[in-house]
């Protein structure tokens, strides 16, 4: 087909049905022939190792194609996802029987969902491809990648490498396929989601909403707009630690990751000391009204709420050049004064370059209210952090802030905690998602319950309204 030839809906339908048919054949072969957890794990090992082998080349290609972020941080995130998925998946059972944790005597047998359609974001294409692929293949599913038009060449190249890795361990290459550059489009992505057996959508709110409207089971991610509250009473050393980590994490991949802090709520008594720490560790302070207005006009043009894509993944000095601010190339992030929240200030929304806004509060309850107001505009369900020594404040904030991950005395990207690593951060109904936890291979499995009669078993049936104990169907 020539470069300028228009693809008709009929041609697109035929193409997508062809991808799905090949994917289904490969998935069924995978399910029938790879019948031990070790064999499945060898497949994950092969595609994970291949990705790491070509990590620098793939991340360089991603930067060259999308013009977002930087290579070193992309590689760090990529390896974090690959090694994280390997740790989560290896040795875990997706093939054999397991006892049901709730139903005595019942065995659960895991089975694949089938063909998983995976929608890629432009901001993080490399890590998302391998993260989705490892999760899906652990459950003996197959995947079809729908690349973002801004990163289609990288996606096609990466999938080619992964297919080579599959063949090297005797697995069908068609377990991983990618919509070609010729066909890649919004229409193709929508058709893929309605064709596959289930889909994972990582990207903007529109793509996630489309996934849930596809008519197929879907897993999406909510937008980030991470709030960070610094409570009065933490030590000077802890205050500096918070500032250091805030700058470092917000600067990662030029502010593209969704889990970096967007707004910090700081007590008035700590403000000057905290600003000093932030600037010492690489923040460029913007606190003049005219400079903030110029930045606002650039980031959200024409008084709207749609983020200007020209600023996404850019260094602070590059953003400064676009709006007439002289920001040194050494600056890691922008630090912007912001005494408005919620609907009152568009700068309270998620912004995908290295920028942190700060609000100053006098009462802890006001800081929580402002964080909630920002999240209710954008970012509910994702992540927030509280730095404190007051357990009552932990209890108060945790009950009120609508997020799936609430970190205490840690950076917003998490610290040394055993929360499962994932490329897909579910934000629950707050963020319009089906799960409020990090997506794992376990979400991509069907389950068969195998039951046998057990003598003396009682039905799940209780007429005693005064008995508040857990029901036990095996009790006499």
User: Tens digit of pLDDT for each residue in 223-240?
Assistant: 889 999 999 999 999 999
User: pLDDT above 70 covers what percent of the chain?
Assistant: 98
Of 183, 251, 210, the residue nearest 14 (C-alpha): 183
| Alpha carbon distance 163, 167 (integer Å) | 6
Whether residue 137 contacts residue 44, with contact meaning beta carbons closer than 8 Å, is answered with yes
- pLDDT digits over 355-382, tens only? 999 999 999 999 999 999 999 999 999 9
- Give the model's pLDDT for residue 476: 63
- pLDDT digits over 121-177, tens only? 888 889 999 999 999 999 999 999 999 989 999 999 999 999 999 999 999 999 999
Whether residue 218 contacts residue 211, with contact meaning beta carbons closer than 8 Å, is answered with yes
| Alpha carbon distance 101, 440 (integer Å) | 19
| Alpha carbon distance 393, 118 (integer Å) | 40
Of these residues, 89, 178, 258, 427, which one is catalytic? 258
- Give the model's pLDDT for residue 2: 45
Output the DSSP codes for 154-186: HHHHHHHHHHHHHHHTT--GGGEEE--TTT-SH
Arithmetic mean of pLDDT, 331-340: 95
pTM of the model: 0.89
Better pLDDT: 439 or 103: 439
Of 258, 228, 323, the residue nearest 284 (C-alpha): 323
Q: What is the dihedral of CA 55, 61, 64, 69, to 10 degrees?
A: -30
- pLDDT digits over 10-40, tens only? 999 999 999 999 999 999 999 999 999 999 9
- pLDDT digits over 408-417, tens only? 999 888 766 6
Neighbours of 452 (CB within 10 A): 7
- pLDDT digits over 49-63, tens only? 999 999 999 999 999
- pLDDT digits over 115-124, tens only? 999 999 888 8
Active site residue 59: no
CA atoms within 13 A on the CB side of 337: 14
Better pLDDT: 208 or 469: 469
Neighbours of 36 (CB within 10 A): 10
Q: What is the dihedral of CA 311, 313, 317, 320, to 10 degrees?
A: 20
Q: What are phi and psi of 215, to 5 degrees?
A: 90, 0
Neighbours of 200 (CB within 10 A): 28
Of 235, 230, 270, 227, the residue nearest 393 (C-alpha): 230
Confidence of residue 460 (pLDDT cuts 50, 70, 90): confident
């Amino acid at each position: 087909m020539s470069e300028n030839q228009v693809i008709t809906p009929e041609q697109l339908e035929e193409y997508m049905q062809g991808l799905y048919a090949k994917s289904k054949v490969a998935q069924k072969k995978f399910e029938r022939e790879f019948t031990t957890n070790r064999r499945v794990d060898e497949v994950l090992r092969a595609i994970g190792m291949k990705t790491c082998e070509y990590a620098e080349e793939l991340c360089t290609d991603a930067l060259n194609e999308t013009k977002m972020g930087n290579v070193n941080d992309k590689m760090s995130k990529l390896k974090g996802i690959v090694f994280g998925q390997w740790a989560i998946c290896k040795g875990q059972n997706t093939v054999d029987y397991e006892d049901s944790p709730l139903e005595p005597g019942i065995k659960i047998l895991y089975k694949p969902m089938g063909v998983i359609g995976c929608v890629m974001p432009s901001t993080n294409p490399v890590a998302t491809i391998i993260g989705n692929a490892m999760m899906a293949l652990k459950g003996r599913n197959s995947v079809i990648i729908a690349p973002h038009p801004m990163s289609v060449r990288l996606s096609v190249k990466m999938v080619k490498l992964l297919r080579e890795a599959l063949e090297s361990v005797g697995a069908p290459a068609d377990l991983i396929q990618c919509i070609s550059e010729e066909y890649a489009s919004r229409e193709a992505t929508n058709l893929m989601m309605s064709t596959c057996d289930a889909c994972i959508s990582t990207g903007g709110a529109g793509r996630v909403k489309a996934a849930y409207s596809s008519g197929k089971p879907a897993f999406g991610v909510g937008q980030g707009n991470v709030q960070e509250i610094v409570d009065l009473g933490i030590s000077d050393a802890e205050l500096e630690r918070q500032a250091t980590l805030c700058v470092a994490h917000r600067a990662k991949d030029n502010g593209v990751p969704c889990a970096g802090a967007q707004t910090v709520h700081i007590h008035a008594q700590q403000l000057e000391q905290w600003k000093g720490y932030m600037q010492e560790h690489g923040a460029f302070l913007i606190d003049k009204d005219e400079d903030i207005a110029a930045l606002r006009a650039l980031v959200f043009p024409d008084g709207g709420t749609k983020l200007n894509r020209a600023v996404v993944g850019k260094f602070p000095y590059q953003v400064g050049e676009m709006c007439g601010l002289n920001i040194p190339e050494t600056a890691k992030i922008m630090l912007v004064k912001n005494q408005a929240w919620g609907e009152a200030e568009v700068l309270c929304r998620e912004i995908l370059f290295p920028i942190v806004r700060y609000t100053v509060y006098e009462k802890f309850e006001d800081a929580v209210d402002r964080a909630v107001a920002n999240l209710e505009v954008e970012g509910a369900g994702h992540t927030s952090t509280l730095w404190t020594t007051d357990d009552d404040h932990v209890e108060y904030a945790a009950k009120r802030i609508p997020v799936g991950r609430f970190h205490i005395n840690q950076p917003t990207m998490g610290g040394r905690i055993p929360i499962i690593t994932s490329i897909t951060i579910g934000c629950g109904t707050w963020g319009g998602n089906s799960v409020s936890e990090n997506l794992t291979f376990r979400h991509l499995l069907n389950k068969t319950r195998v039951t046998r009669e057990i003598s003396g078993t009682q039905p799940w049936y209780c007429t005693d309204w005064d008995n508040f104990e857990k029901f036990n169907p095996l009790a006499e």
